[in-house]
Amino acid sequence: MSHSVDDIRSQLIALLPRLRRFARAIAKNVHDADDLVQIGVERALTRLDQWNTESRLESWMFGIIRNAWIDEVRARSRRDKLFGPEELGENVGVDVVAAETELMSVQVAMARLPEEQRTAVALVLIEGLSYKEAAAVMEIPIGTVTSRLARGREALQKMLGGAGATVQ
């Protein structure tokens, strides 16, 4: 597998739909999500040397996007202290994603999870990463992924009113 810059660029283009989906799942808001993807792509391109090619490109990208989001959450919390909580815009966009009530409630339920649980759920249940891969992305032990995932799932199932119990 070649890793020239051009090659990575074309892999990134192919990855954009998934990066957008991941960002959408963690950022709760369509606009923030795409901005996160853009930041992620730009950060990645300036530090390609830091990509450990043993790991999959998407895992590396998920990690960068997640870190960008954490930076933003922290910045926002500092800003909220300075400027008072933002009321406008909070969680806006969740209802844009899907018109169906059931699907919308999934977005809302996700948005209500604590950050760390939401990221674990997004990586494993939406992006299909293994626990081990998710642990590498989040830079935490596998056991921690498992427990965050378990708590996240439990909370989601509660919020979705047991809708998850319907077997497909």
Partner 1 sequence: MNITDEVLMAYADGELDAATRSEVERAIAANSELAKQVDRHRALRTQLSNAFGAVLDETIPEHLKAAVSGQQSSSITNLAQVRAAKATAQQARRWSPANWMSIAASVTLGVLLGHFVPSERHSDSIVANAALERALSEQLASNSADSAVQIGVSYLDKSGDYCRSFATTGNDATAGLACRTNSTWQIRMLMPVEKSSGAAYRTAASTIPAAILDRVNHDINGEPLDAEQEAAVVKRGWNAQPR
Binding site for partner 1 (CB under 8 A): 9, 12-13, 16-18, 20-21, 24-25, 29-32, 34-39, 41-43, 45-46, 68, 71-72, 75-76, 79, 82-84, 86, 88-90, 92-93, 97-98, 102-103, 106-107, 110, 121, 124-126, 130-131, 146-147, 149-150, 153-154, 156-157, 160, 163-168
Cα–Cα dist 9/71, whole Å: 25
Minimum Å gap between C-beta 54 and partner 1 is: 20
Helices (H) and strands (E) in the chain, counts: 8, 0
Closer residue to partner 1 (CB): 1 or 8? 8
Which residues have a Cβ under 8 Å from the Cβ of 6 and sit 6 or more positions away? none
Cα–Cα dist 50/33, whole Å: 23
Structural tokens at position 53: 């090619």
Closer residue to partner 1 (CB): 124 or 138? 124
